[in-house]
Amino acid sequence: MVKVLNDSMFRPVDPSKLQTDEIQRPSLGVFKETLLSILKNKLAIIGLFLLVVIIFLALFGPSMVPYSGSQQNLTNVNKAPSGEHWFGTDNLGRDMWSRTWQGARVSLTIGFIAAIVDLVVGVIVGGVSGYMAGRGKFGDRVDSLLMRIVEILYGIPYLLVVILLMVIMEPGITTIIIALSITGWVGMARIIRGQILLLKSQEYVLAAEKLGTSHVKIIMRHLLPNTMGIIIINLTFTIPTAIFAEAFLSFLGLGVQAPFASWGTMANDSLGVILSGHWWRLFFPGFMIALTMFAFNAFGDGIQDALDPRARK
Amino acid sequence: MYIVKRFMTMILTIWVIASLTFFIMNMIPGDPFASDADVLPKEVVENMRAKYNLDEPVPVQYVLYLKNLVMLDLGPSIKSESRTVNDIIASGFPASATLGIQAIIVALFFGLLLGIVAALNHNKLLDNAAMIFAIIGISVPSFILSPLLINIFAVKFGILPVASWGTWQHSVLPTLALATTPLAVVARYMRSSMLEVMNQNYIKTADAKGLSTFKIVLSHGVRNAILPVVSFIGPLFVSLITGTFVIEKIFAVPGIGKYFVDSIFNRDYPVIMGTTVFFSTILVVTLFLIDISYRFIDPRIKLTSKGD
């Protein structure tokens, strides 16, 4: 049977009860929304939690035990982990717990300095280069000059620069930091430039420009907030790379010098004894490097997912 | 023309690196014979300085150095007098190259395989297992992994030699240690790239027209998904070369990486300079080749300088 539609089947809607324009949920700012979606990401939370624990122990770990990291005790060498020495002792009887967290300080310092250099030099160079591109003869010249420098530095492997610097300077944290400052920001500059170029061609930037908005305001209001995500993601990968580089150099004997401890030097010291069964001497620094790398990478992955508009619901 | 421009940048980069190493080495106060000058007669020291062109003013030394470089002559070693830097590189290269090529093959083959399998089983057990493996592979540095591998395979089971070089058995553990991190990174790249490709409409079309799963995955999925991974081979290569420094040290492999690190501790300046320039040249040329080949592999990228 065919049902025929007629007026009696419809009821008029009370216009005052129409809810079409009503906002379904409270409007959140970009920042708040991002924060919420990061908090919803399990991986990011695990990473963040681990990072907080590692930073806390780096700050307070060494003072939780009555031994300093460089204090030798030759009557108590190569002791397995116990209630007295939580991570055991090394071949000079030094407390491994204390040394491990002193190593954490070195690693984290290097990581955060790398992040600052990335943030300051990389973002400025990339931003200026991207913003100046296509703005007259002068602008193009600035862009191509900066990009030439970046291209050449990009071709030079970072570890070779560090190793060369080690030859003329004393090996140590300062030298690693200087080498980082010379080459570390290049990747960030390239990414930021690409992002700025992309953003500049968006209609809202054109609109703002045509309405007479100043350069500074366009940068602060439109370009910077929209590059924030990519900057943060890149930082969470710069930091572990720098930490890894330090461990690598220290392992080769080109990084942090005795009596200071770093995870790389501790791993290097323990290479010979791993065959004799003193597993804790390699395990703790090795595990800490791996855990820190994992924490930063997990956090970075989580943030990346959270900031990716395609993944947002 | 993009290729020409890119080629010029490459030459420029090599020149910058060569000059940089030269001037950095010259900034070091004194010369390699400073300590001999007190013991040996003046004439002997002068002869030795003359042999290494150290008696010339710096600009002349620089020109001579560049001239020799163009002739592919990296000069004599200072610490082992009978050998030139060319000899040292020639004797270390076979081991390093074997190790590097084996590692790159292992990393690419198993990395791609792992990435593809993970993507095809998205969010299933296999995917999770592959990604946990990948995260561990990225997080554990090779110098931690190497002693573990030695401990398990050489000490506990005794099926592979602890260290040294010679037979193929010697190269198994160093190759594994060197390949693990790049393998994990390739797997992650390939997985996310593959996931994106398999959601494309042309995959649905291929499926709808009745192609076998094998064919869809291989000629439509992998063929497209592999492109972004190719651009990663450059950084992969860099990490492999620097990785060999550590691996060759741990496994006592007589490669260039080992000589390079030794030369730094010995302050053997010509060897440091020579190997640095050698490494950088290999890297820069590889990056160049990958960049060019990438633009041929992917027809969507035009060979212009504006595109990048």
Q: What is the pLDDT of residues A250-303, one digit of tens each?
A: 887 777 777 777 888 887 777 766 666 677 777 788 888 888 888 888 888 777
User: Alpha-carbon distance A96 to A107, whole Å?
Assistant: 16
Q: Could you give the maximum distance between any two Cα atoms of chain B, in Å?
A: 88
Choose the weakest-confidence range: A105-114, B59-68, B176-185, B263-272.
B263-272
pLDDT at A196: 84
DSSP A26: -
Comparing A65 with B110, the larger pLDDT belongs to B110
The closest alpha carbon to B252, from B152, B182, B161, belongs to B161
Nearest CB among B12, B147, B280 relative to A271 is that of B147
For residue A44, give both structure tokens.
């990011």
pLDDT at A238: 81
Q: Can you give the residue ranges of every domain in chain B?
A: 90-268
User: To probe the interface with B, which of A51, A100, A140, A251 has the most B CB atoms within 10 Å?
Assistant: A251
Given a cut of 80, is residue A213 above it in pLDDT?
A: yes
ipTM here: 0.72
Q: Can you give the residue ranges of every domain in chain A?
A: 87-311
Determine contact: A157 vs chain B, CB below 8 A. yes
Choose the weakest-confidence range: A17-21, B37-41, B163-167, B200-204.
A17-21
- Give B-chain residues touching A191 at CB under 8 angstroms: none
**Distances from the Cα of B16 to the Cα of A148, B66, B101, B225, angstroms:** 12, 11, 28, 36
Alpha-carbon torsion A239, A245, A248, A251, what sign?
negative
Cα A191 to chain center, whole Å?
15
Distance between B139 CA and the closest CA of chain A, angstroms: 5
User: Alpha-carbon distance B308 to B292, whole Å?
Assistant: 12
The closest alpha carbon to A98, from A108, A84, A110, A109, belongs to A84
At A227-264, the pLDDT tens digits run 877 787 778 778 888 888 888 888 877 777 777 778 88
Question: B144 falls in which pLDDT band (50, 70, 90)?
Answer: confident
- Give A-chain residues touching B17 at CB under 8 angstroms: 155-156, 160
The answer to whether B154 and B160 are in contact (CB under 8 A) is: yes
Exposed e or buried b per residue across B63-73, where buried means at least 16 C-beta atoms within 10 angstroms of its C-beta: eebeeebeeee
- Give A-chain residues touching B28 at CB under 8 angstroms: 167-168
DSSP B76: B
pLDDT at B302: 57
Of chain A, the percentage scoring pLDDT greater than 90 comes to 0
Comparing A220 with A211, the larger pLDDT belongs to A211
- Give B-chain residues touching A248 at CB under 8 angstroms: 141, 143, 242, 246
User: Alpha-carbon distance A142 to A146, whole Å?
Assistant: 6
The answer to whether B76 and B61 are in contact (CB under 8 A) is: no
Determine contact: A169 vs chain B, CB below 8 A. no
A7, A8, A11, A12: CA torsion to nearest 10: 40
Exposed e or buried b per residue across B172-199, where buried means at least 16 C-beta atoms within 10 angstroms of its C-beta: bbbbbbbbbbbbbbbbbbbbbbbbebbe
Of chain A, the percentage scoring pLDDT greater than 70 comes to 85
Distance between A144 CA and the closest CA of chain B, angstroms: 11
Does the distance separating the beta carbons of B135 and A294 come in below 8 Å?
Answer: yes
Give residue for tokens 């009370």: A14
Determine contact: B132 vs chain A, CB below 8 A. no
Cis peptide before B57 (omega within 30 of 0): no
The answer to whether A292 and A100 are in contact (CB under 8 A) is: no
The answer to whether A297 and A45 are in contact (CB under 8 A) is: no
User: To probe the interface with B, which of A167, A263, A271 has the most B CB atoms within 10 Å?
Assistant: A167
Choose the weakest-confidence range: A35-39, A60-64, A85-89, A191-195.
A85-89
Does the distance separating the beta carbons of A152 and B13 come in below 8 Å?
Answer: yes
B218, B219, B224, B230: CA torsion to nearest 10: 70
User: Alpha-carbon distance B283 to B261, whole Å?
Assistant: 18
Distance between B212 CA and the closest CA of chain A, angstroms: 30
Give residue for tokens 């001579």: B64
- Give A-chain residues touching B12 at CB under 8 angstroms: 152
Does the distance separating the beta carbons of B279 and A157 come in below 8 Å?
Answer: yes
CB neighbour list of residue B95: distance below 8 Å, 6 or more residues apart: B165, B248, B253, B254, B255
Determine contact: A291 vs chain B, CB below 8 A. yes
Of chain B, the percentage scoring pLDDT greater than 90 comes to 1
Nearest CB among B13, B25, B155 relative to A156 is that of B13
User: Alpha-carbon distance B119 to B127, whole Å?
Assistant: 7
Alpha-carbon torsion B28, B30, B33, B36, what sign?
negative
Nearest CB among A252, A294, A297 relative to B261 is that of A252
The answer to whether A121 and A181 are in contact (CB under 8 A) is: yes
Nearest CB among B12, B28, B249 relative to A252 is that of B249
pLDDT at A313: 38
Pick the CATH number of A87-311 from 1.10.3720.10, 3.40.1350.10, 3.20.20.140, 3.40.718.10: 1.10.3720.10
**Is CATH 3.30.450.20 what the domain over B90-268 is classified as, yes or no?**
no
pLDDT at B307: 41
User: Alpha-carbon distance B6 to A117, whole Å?
Assistant: 28
pLDDT at B110: 92
For all residues of chain A together, what is the average pLDDT? 78
**Distances from the Cα of B289 to the Cα of A181, B17, B103, angstroms:** 28, 19, 19
Determine contact: B147 vs chain A, CB below 8 A. yes
